[in-house]
Structure 1
């Protein structure tokens, strides 16, 4: 069905692509990633634009002090929109191209931000957040794919990790904007902050006119000359004879052949005997990332620090430090993923996060006291200000938890889920399923957390601590190592049912050609094709002379 839809809309899609190509293009892969990953920055903007104000009096007074359940729904409305946006994105990015999908992402985001900024009641705020979420859903599905399709292979991991880094940077930038505007005593504080969210949407919208289309998508539309031109500009400054360019074009051709054979592959294929374990692993990888409790620390950081005895500017300053740590510690993960490997990083990260979650629960459980007149039913316990060591200990656990997450599961899961399939025929549909699971859990956690704080307060962290222990066990027994392995090797591991704990040292039974061998082979084939063309031209010329 999807291929028929693509065939019907192919002429329209090419007209749109030609229109977007009207302006000069910039082919630097890092610049292209900086533009496309603004979609991730939008997600970060949304997190801190809400977390910075939910404890402020202007917000509470204007929206009539939302109950725990209502605040949970307001916060999670963005994730609900993102869930549907990530599903619908496939029906746009495949027929019409990656850039148009990013433009739609920017459009929904700007409209949603405008509605939020002008909100007159809770319903309008929720609608605005759902619409913004649709944009984030489009961006989270398309931007990583677009980056991987354009990036040279040598820096594909870096470009892939930039999406998560952009999320953390967006959280940090928007929090400081909100912190400054929070000193305005009135509704202008959150209205201006939510209105400023339009800016990254406009930058993404305009940026789509100066970045190229995905060469893989162009090749799929039969635009091989354009595809080869873009690859050569990105990888070799326009040299179409460069070995890396030849390998990339060859891989695109192989990929299209695989996709042609994958037309019979449906979502049901993911649950067949051959692929069920891959689907289970990738889906749980995304579920576990949410069950670490990281989004509790991000969305409801103000509540957490209220419980720890911080209030006013002291609360916001402490929150800012946490956001800075989240951004800075994302950078080492881009290095350690390839240096240390996926499994050790994920197992170590889960164990450390478990320790800090239990530590936070223990401190709050031992030193907090009831706080019935907090003015917010969600926060009903607090460590007395007289017990500063306990408050500092609670904050330290929060900081160490965020450092553990940012340097391991934050970037690691997105990279891991893009590698684990071992078969390009199912990876697109598989990624759609696992990403949808991530957004579904994001919605559930954002919705549940305020009620959890209200009813079981500090015990909430015990739940996430137990989850961290479970995920460490699951990674050890069920997550094979993918570092340094080609797609074919990962596929062989699944087919041979290699135990996850032995996957690091496992060697493929079927030899796979190295990059150097592949480059030499393609170069020879390319030259032979050229010689054949020259020979044919000479024969034609000689026959014409005889005539």
Structure 2
């Protein structure tokens, strides 16, 4: 069967798995301020709405925990195919929802799929991509999430404005099944991960796949040969280890990587992206936006998110992981503090905002516009820095034997905090109003120090070279100075090939 070899085409279709996450975020955030939704589901209060929103994250947590075993046993490609079908089933359940319990069940099922795709798509892409562009390829996963958010939000906006009654959200939620079907069909034409094949000792297939991806089908290409040697060595070391369980991820030789992988995903959530994405309509309503103006103002935010990540992806491997994470945490801390200060000094408590009893703080006029402006600034910074980089970093830090389960555990850290914050933010806006932003500013302050002192640089290295980075005693802020051995090995192979060719030429003469 024909297999796609262009890494950019593989990334474009493979990361539809990330788009599923984006679809599910907007499939809820777009409706929380729409009368058709609130009337049909009994005007859920802040606690119930938080539970409905967070239910998808609960399913995603379970899916990401199971994903490592599924992916190691069936392979990267087949596990994503299974996730595609789970997603389609979840979309159908949501589309037919008759009450809150029915809706929550559909979101949990969809979440199971998102847990698998969000954790294993970065693994799959990182194992297919060459080291020099791995960051931008894995980063497409986050960009796909953002495109999913924007596309679904626009669909929801069109349904909310143009269709009356429950049909509006049913059509919207039913459309979610389409990208799942596209992903399932596309995966038939994808190669399996060469590193997974090597882990199963299917050496010929692994070499053929590396040649397909990195050598235009030429097994003797120096890049292919060097990478195959590194994959063989990584697989040999992996086979010497015992079977991996979650407990082994905290063993003496791996716990630092696990700490980096899990914490970068947790910090991505605690940076405050949930405030901007899940409850964007709430923020704009508090700032004086009403009705359709609140909805299209949210569209602008999603456009900014897509644009900033898209601009950063071509440069993300040049800038490096540490620098982006540090810039993002410091700048977002400042933005959160500014929003909190403006809301505290210029806003005032109310019993409800535009009849929405979930909101008890209002800030209008120029101050309200300032809150909206800084919400846009936050989204831009998040899109440039933590949004793509956290997924990239978590997919890089684990060696072959631990990668699927390690990234699955990292993603589960993302999802359990996603669940907690999706539930927390709605009641927080109701109970502590502007102080919500103070909490996120403190998180940003703490993560800055954690990243600086504990995260080594991984950009521009093969996955096997990253093992060396973690095994050295070099301080994390100096790991960017460790020499890149991959380029040297390629030069040696190229030199060896030239010598052989020269000898052959002399013999002919």
Q: Which TM-score applies when normalising by structure 2?
A: 0.91
Q: Is residue 2:54 matched to residue 1:76?
A: yes
Q: Is residue 2:221 matched to residue 1:249?
A: no
Shift of 1:133: 0.5
1:317 to 296, 301, 307: 296
Distance change (3 Å), C-alpha of 1:527 and 1:246: farther
Cα deviations by residue, 1:206-254 (Å, 9 ceiling, x for unpaired): 1122222223333444443333333322223322222222223323322
Give the gaps of 5 or more residues in structure 2. Answer: 504-509
Alpha-carbon contact 1:68-1:451 (below 8 Å) kept: yes
Secondary structure of 2:385 counterpart:
helix
User: Which residue of structure 2 aligns with residue 4 of structure 1?
Assistant: none
Shift of 1:93: 1.7
Distance change (3 Å), C-alpha of 1:281 and 1:450: same
User: Which residue of structure 2 aligns with residue 394 of structure 1?
Assistant: 371
Q: In 2, Cα distance between the equivalents of 1:250 and 1:306?
A: 58
Cα deviations by residue, 1:160-179 (Å, 9 ceiling, x for unpaired): 11111100111111111111
Q: In 1, Cα distance between the equivalents of 2:131 and 2:470?
A: 24
2:318 to 319, 339, 347: 339
Q: In 1, Cα distance between the equivalents of 2:290 and 2:344?
A: 19
Shift of 1:330: 0.6
User: Which residue of structure 2 aligns with residue 453 of structure 1?
Assistant: 429
Moved more, 474-483 or 44-53: 474-483
RCO higher in structure (CA 8 A, sep ≥6): 2
Secondary structure of 1:213 counterpart:
coil
Q: Is residue 2:177 matched to residue 1:198?
A: yes
Q: Is residue 2:360 matched to residue 1:380?
A: yes
1:108-257 map, 5 Å:
108-183=86-161, 184-257=163-236
Distance change (3 Å), C-alpha of 1:264 and 1:90: closer
Q: Is residue 2:299 matched to residue 1:295?
A: no
Distance change (3 Å), C-alpha of 1:472 and 1:68: same
User: Which residue of structure 2 aligns with residue 419 of structure 1?
Assistant: 396
Q: Which TM-score applies when normalising by structure 1?
A: 0.85
RMSD in angstroms over aligned alpha carbons? 2.5
Moved more, 333-342 or 141-150: 333-342
Distance change (3 Å), C-alpha of 1:232 and 1:414: same
Q: In 2, Cα distance between the equivalents of 1:88 and 1:434?
A: 12
Secondary structure of 1:27 counterpart:
coil
2:487 to 511, 515, 518: 515
User: Which residue of structure 1 aligns with residue 506 of structure 2?
Assistant: none
Distance change (3 Å), C-alpha of 1:338 and 1:300: same
Alpha-carbon contact 1:246-1:519 (below 8 Å) kept: no
Cα deviations by residue, 1:351-381 (Å, 9 ceiling, x for unpaired): 1111111111122222223332433232122
User: Which residue of structure 2 aligns with residue 468 of structure 1?
Assistant: 444
Q: In 1, Cα distance between the equivalents of 2:317 and 2:401?
A: 25
Secondary structure of 1:353 counterpart:
helix
Shift of 1:108: 0.8
User: Which residue of structure 1 aligns with residue 507 of structure 2?
Assistant: none
Shift of 1:525: 9.4
User: Which residue of structure 1 aligns with residue 386 of structure 2?
Assistant: 409
Alpha-carbon contact 1:286-1:434 (below 8 Å) kept: yes
Q: Is residue 2:328 matched to residue 1:349?
A: yes
Question: Which of structures 1 and 2 has the bigger CA Rg?
Answer: 1
Distance change (3 Å), C-alpha of 1:217 and 1:474: closer
Shift of 1:296: 1.7
Distance change (3 Å), C-alpha of 1:218 and 1:480: closer
Alpha-carbon contact 2:126-2:395 (below 8 Å) kept: no
Shift of 1:466: 1.1
Q: In 1, Cα distance between the equivalents of 2:406 and 2:97?
A: 37
Alpha-carbon contact 2:230-2:464 (below 8 Å) kept: no
Cα deviations by residue, 1:518-541 (Å, 9 ceiling, x for unpaired): 46349959999xx9xxxxxxxxxx
Q: In 1, Cα distance between the equivalents of 2:316 and 2:182?
A: 31
Q: In 1, Cα distance between the equivalents of 2:229 and 2:123?
A: 19
Give the gaps of 5 or more residues in structure 1. Answer: 1-20, 532-547
Q: In 1, Cα distance between the equivalents of 2:182 and 2:453?
A: 44
Q: In 2, Cα distance between the equivalents of 1:430 and 1:209?
A: 26
Moved more, 150-159 or 395-404: 150-159
Number of paired residues? 499
User: Which residue of structure 2 aligns with residue 436 of structure 1?
Assistant: 412
Q: In 1, Cα distance between the equivalents of 2:14 and 2:236?
A: 27
